[in-house]
Amino acid sequence: MKPLKSLRLEHRFETGLDLRVDGRHLLTLFVLDDALIRVLLRKDGAFRLDRTWTVAPQSGSAPTDVPWQGRSRLDLAGFACPPFAVEETGDGLVLTTACLRLTVTTPLTLTWQARQEDGSWRAFAQDRPTGAYMLGVKDHAHAHFLLRQPGERVYGLGEKAGELERSGRRFEMRNLDAMGYDARSTDPLYKHIPFTATRTADAGSYGLFYDNLAGCWFDLGNELDNYHKPYRAYRAQDGDLDYYMSWAPSLRDVVRSHVRLTGGTAFPPLWSLGYSGSTMHYTDAPDAQAQLEGFVRLVAEHDIPCDSFQLSSGYSSIGAKRYVFTWNRDKVPDPSAMARIFAEAGIHLAANIKPCLLQDHPMYGEAAERGLFVRDSEEAAPARSPFWDDEGSNLDFTNPDTIRWWQDNIAGKLLAHGIGSTWNDNNEFEVWDGSARCHGFGEETEIGLIRPLMPVLMTRASHEAQVAHAPDRRPYLISRSGAPGLQRYAQTWSGDNRTSWETLRYNIRMGLGMSLSGLYNIGHDVGGFAGPRPDPELFVRWVQNGIFHPRFTIHSWNDDGTVNEPWMYPEATPLVRAAITLRYRLLPYLYTTLYRAVAEAEPMLRPTFLDHEHDPRCFAETDDFLIGRDLLVASVVEPGARVRRVYLPDNATGWWDFWTGTWHAGGQDMTVPVTLASMPLFVRAGTVLPLADGLSRADAARDSRRTLAVYPASGRAEVDALEYADDGISADALESRHCLTRFSLRSDADALALDWRLEGCYRPCFDSVVVTLPAGERRPLTVNGRPAASGATVAYRPA
């Protein structure tokens, strides 16, 4: 690659500037918002790929989308595009918005400054002054180098292994089916998320998103070169250098900005927050239907709340291999009858589907003849790749005929049987001939340019099929692989993890990394997917951790043929039941957290520093995390633990122990005694925590009893809180059919006052609530202006 050097201002237009680089390349600066500027470099003035599928600026609460064929990279719809000033200097120019100052100098170098509260400008990012930008001479490889700054912390890049803070390491984006990965070290993994969020030492935080779907690498300080100052690097093997630089005072706002840039978050039904069963063992068994129906009986026998089951791919087997959209009628004689049994128990089914047809698939010939596959780079035939113990061809979801074929099969082979959701799996599209050809919606495109897009389009096709089948209900989908924009359609998870204590610990960090990268609705295979079965202690601890994640699924393919089930160890079943029961008690809070992720772009899983950036202790690597802003989880992740040490972030109100009702000041270490039954949990003081009573399904129609657990501040304070509710399923819930309860909680040294008002046309199934205070709280309480003792029942009605 060749470094870029000279530049000149060629053209100023309403939304940005064109600069000519080295007399031949075109660098465009788009001013998209006061704190968001886009940098687009076109080699020889032309696009390598003139469309994007990841950028879909969100304005309202519902996700925003792009046309199937992609959005023109020159389309600025949805952006504010505010006015800006430009001043030419001797060796470049200075571009200024209300928040940002961008200085461009020769040789091509960009320096970014942000306006501080006192009106001064402070640099938050700067290109390496030597060879900051490079382009391939005979190809479209490219690179971008930034200086590494003292004290900066780098987060993001999706589901990466190891510590949450990424500095000093090198990462690759190349979607792989990494079954049994090491959660501390394996790289790459399943997803392509070229986004970092960087906190500087003294100038706020910035997001850097490279809108490129080609394979790429991020070096965040692992590499050193004597001829350059300390730097961090982005290198891509193809595509366009097209990046978005955003700035905000806080990391949280940087993450929220990125989610809105890529279209927002899907709003699945309430039942998606319940326990979801799954295992490969059932569908691989010769009597799969009996095994599956037995699960329905067993959850009832063991009194385990459950809302869904993920149907692994064994139902589609012929011999030892799997063939998407086929039913093995020897193993599953009557899929419709099986689905009815699940439906009658209130358990929703999601069927595993795969985008690759093995070469002897019954429909392979038909699909090949219709041109539905990614095609070989040199021949007219479909491209062949290894897949599930054989070779197969990957479907091309940039072909409208493929999309229709896929949706017809979902409708006829799954939805028609009463299986309402799809689990889009094994969709890494490991087609390693980068020149293999895709339809490209009429503009032939090499697979190497868009490989991570394929699982996104696959999931979108599934999403639309489900919406067409049940237009009045919100769809639920899962996808393992993808790129930014996947979150507009589906929930995701960290793939086929390996059973170990280390995985339990590092999956927590992996989940937080995904959340800081814009994937909010996530989880892990509880108990571990591959490897040995978990022993009773590890299994209990994994369940106790899993209940605090948006996706809570026990799933396995154990090496010894055993199956991870809530009742797998009779002596541990009461502890597993207690954890899952707590999950259901917390459902109103979790649903509100999901609502805020969708409507307000607020992360669900949160590292403690996201809400406490002023507290340097929160930036230490830790196993602690927040679910929403109010619950601090301290999962036990070490075998034989008798105590759990947890740091309570420094805040103005303090923290309450959920179990003991004891108040603690923030900014201190706690040592909590634990047994195998313990789930250390703290509540931010100033919280009104909505709790369900006696709920065994995530079903609004059954949610007829509510407790409002009030956790007041220790001194004088006035705080607001929120609960969101709807019927759990309606597609129009966000627009109209919901209820927002807005709480106001006031406290001083002598008294507490709680008031609320209801907004929206939906009314929950309860007309009164029980209001409780922690055991350690002695101040008198009034509720809506009337005295109320802890445990009192209070009418729940509009103010």
Average pLDDT over residues 670-699: 97
Distance CA 580, CA 698 (A): 12
Spacing of C-alpha 21 from chain mean position: 38
CA angle centred on 492, ends 310 and 489, rounded to 5°: 95
- Asked whether 175 and 191 are in contact (CB, 8 A), the reply is yes
Average pLDDT over residues 708-734: 96
pLDDT at position 635, please? Answer: 98
Residues with Cβ < 8 Å from 340, sequence gap 6 or more? 418
Distance CA 674, CA 778 (A): 27
Sign of the C-alpha dihedral computed for residues 190, 191, 192 and 194 taken in this order: negative
Contacts 24+ apart (CB under 8 A), 378-384: 383/431, 383/433, 383/436, 383/447, 384/359
For the domain made up of 607-684, the CATH class stated in words is mainly beta
Please state, as a whole number, how many other Cβ atoms lie within 10 Å of the Cβ of residue 744.
14
**172 closest CA partner among 222, 135, 133:** 222
Distance CA 636, CA 678 (A): 8
On the question of pLDDT at 60 being above 90, the answer is: no
The HSE-up count of residue 755 (CA atoms within 13 Å, CB side) is 11
Binned at pLDDT 50, 70 and 90, residue 330 comes out as very high
- Asked whether 296 and 306 are in contact (CB, 8 A), the reply is no
Distance CA 250, CA 95 (A): 23
Burial of 360 (0-12, 13-18, 19+ CB in 10 A): middle
Q: Could you say which of 1.10.10.10, 3.20.20.70, 3.20.20.80, 3.10.310.30 is the CATH number of the domain covering 354-490?
A: 3.20.20.80
- Asked whether 207 and 254 are in contact (CB, 8 A), the reply is yes
**239 closest CA partner among 52, 83, 455:** 52
Helix (H) or strand (E) holding 366: helix 364-369
On the question of pLDDT at 633 being above 70, the answer is: yes
Residues with Cβ < 8 Å from 149, sequence gap 6 or more? 125, 126, 200, 201
On the question of pLDDT at 799 being above 60, the answer is: no
**217 closest CA partner among 196, 200, 198, 246:** 196
CA angle centred on 526, ends 522 and 532, rounded to 5°: 140
Give percent of the chain with pLDDT exceeding 70.
100
Distance CA 236, CA 448 (A): 11
Average pLDDT over residues 29-46: 98
On the question of pLDDT at 244 being above 60, the answer is: yes
For the domain made up of 687-795, the CATH class stated in words is mainly beta
Average pLDDT over residues 30-46: 98
Average pLDDT over all residues of the chain: 97
- Distances 504 to 143, 190, 494, 666, 740 between C-alpha atoms, Å: 35, 18, 12, 27, 35
| Residue whose pair of structure tokens reads 């390496």 in the numeric block | 128
Distance CA 651, CA 504 (A): 28
Spacing of C-alpha 95 from chain mean position: 34
687-795: same fold as 354-490?
no
Which pair of tokens denotes residue 403? 């999309």
Binned at pLDDT 50, 70 and 90, residue 797 comes out as confident
Which pair of tokens denotes residue 795? 């009418």
Per-residue pLDDT tens for 215-229?
999 999 999 999 999
Binned at pLDDT 50, 70 and 90, residue 609 comes out as very high
Helix (H) or strand (E) holding 512: helix 501-515
Distance CA 401, CA 445 (A): 16
- Distances 66 to 71, 477, 549, 613, 757 between C-alpha atoms, Å: 6, 19, 29, 35, 37
pLDDT at position 798, please? Answer: 62
Binned at pLDDT 50, 70 and 90, residue 59 comes out as confident
On the question of pLDDT at 25 being above 90, the answer is: yes
pLDDT at position 140, please? Answer: 97
Distance CA 553, CA 543 (A): 9
Helix (H) or strand (E) holding 585: helix 573-585
Q: Phi and psi for 338 in degrees, rounded to 5?
A: -60, -45
Helix (H) or strand (E) holding 277: strand 276-278
Q: Phi and psi for 364 in degrees, rounded to 5?
A: -60, -45
**Cis peptide bond upstream of 188, omega within 30:** yes
Distance CA 421, CA 438 (A): 27
pLDDT at position 738, please? Answer: 97
Which pair of tokens denotes residue 96? 């200024």
End-to-end CA, the chain? 67
Tell me the β-bridge partners of 118. Answer: none
Burial of 631 (0-12, 13-18, 19+ CB in 10 A): buried
Tell me which DSSP letter residue 168 carries.
T
- Asked whether 171 and 188 are in contact (CB, 8 A), the reply is yes
DSSP string, 430-485: ----TT-EE-GGGS-EEHHHHTTHHHHHHHHHHHHHHHHHSTTB---EEESSB-TT
CA angle centred on 336, ends 332 and 339, rounded to 5°: 90
Per-residue pLDDT tens for 399-452?
999 999 999 999 999 999 999 999 999 999 999 999 999 999 999 999 999 999
Q: CA 40, 248, 607, 771: dihedral to nearest 10 degrees?
A: -130
Which pair of tokens denotes residue 24? 């031949």
Distance CA 469, CA 460 (A): 14
Distance CA 718, CA 741 (A): 17
Which pair of tokens denotes residue 224? 């050193």
Distance CA 394, CA 389 (A): 15
Q: Could you say which of 3.30.390.10, 2.60.210.10, 3.90.1150.10, 2.60.40.1760 is the CATH number of the domain covering 2-261?
A: 2.60.40.1760
Biggest CA pair distance of the chain = 81
Average pLDDT over residues 627-641: 98
Residues with Cβ < 8 Å from 297, sequence gap 6 or more? none
Distance CA 683, CA 482 (A): 34
pTM of the full structure: 0.97
Distance CA 164, CA 369 (A): 47
Listed by start position, the domains of the chain span 2-261, 354-490, 607-684, 687-795
Q: Phi and psi for 130 in degrees, rounded to 5?
A: -115, 110
